[in-house]
Structure formats: structure tokens, C-alpha cells
Amino acid sequence: MIGHCFLNLYSSNHMQAIYKLPLKLEPQPEGGFTVTCPLLPELITEGDSVKEALANASDALTAIIETYEDLGRPLPPVLQRVSAYDTIAAETLVAVG
């Protein structure tokens, strides 16, 4: 399954940043999901459930952003930062149960 998800991140100054990007969740034969982002190849993680996989994707994106900052590199333009104060429409995943 693939869909646009929002990842909430906290930067080093504790300000919340919200990014919109497509995530691909692939079920694994042994259980759980592998998460990748077609637009950001550095983002690869996994989780035993959809909820855990999405939480791990947020952690992975935080690490990627911190690495770019540490290297003094600009963030890739595919990272769409959105304002928490604007109306946002997106396809997303919701784990129930």
C-alpha cells in the first residue's frame, strides 16, 4: 500500500515541524511492514504493525533531517513542510483495533 502521510517531527529547538511525503508500506512474510519513501531513498524502516511502522518512519525522517543539518546540506525539495495552522488535505493510514 502507498499513500501520502504526515510525519510530525520535533526539531532541536522543540518546534514541531510537519512534513507531507508518500510512504510505501510493504507487508513482510515474517510479519510486520517495511516502510520506504519513493521520493526520499534514505528513508527505510520497519515496524511490527502499521502504527509502529509509521512511528518509526517519523523517527527515521528526524534522523535524516538531522544528518542533512549536520552536513550543512539543504533538505531535498521533495520534503514538503506544511503549516500546522493551515487546512491540510491528505490520504493517510489509520490503524484501528
Q: Write down the pTM of the prediction.
A: 0.76
Three-state secondary-structure class, residue 13: coil
Strand segments (E) across 1-97: 2-10, 16-27, 33-36, 44-47, 80-82
User: What is the Cα–Cα distance from 13 to 32, expressed in whole angstroms?
Assistant: 33
pLDDT band for position 5 (cuts 50, 70, 90)? low
Q: pLDDT tens across 36-76, in order?
A: 999 899 999 999 998 899 899 999 999 999 999 999 999 88
Q: Which of 6-15, 66-75, 85-94 has the lowest mean pLDDT?
A: 6-15
pLDDT band for position 95 (cuts 50, 70, 90)? low
Residue % of the chain over a pLDDT of 70: 80
Largest separation between any pair of C-alpha atoms in the chain: 42
pLDDT band for position 21 (cuts 50, 70, 90)? confident
User: Which DSSP string do the residues of 54-69 spell out, in sequence order?
Assistant: HHHHHHHHHHHHHHHH
Which residue in this structure is represented by grid cell 514541531? 16
Asked if residue 15 has pLDDT above 60, the reply is: no
Which amino acid belongs to residue 18? I
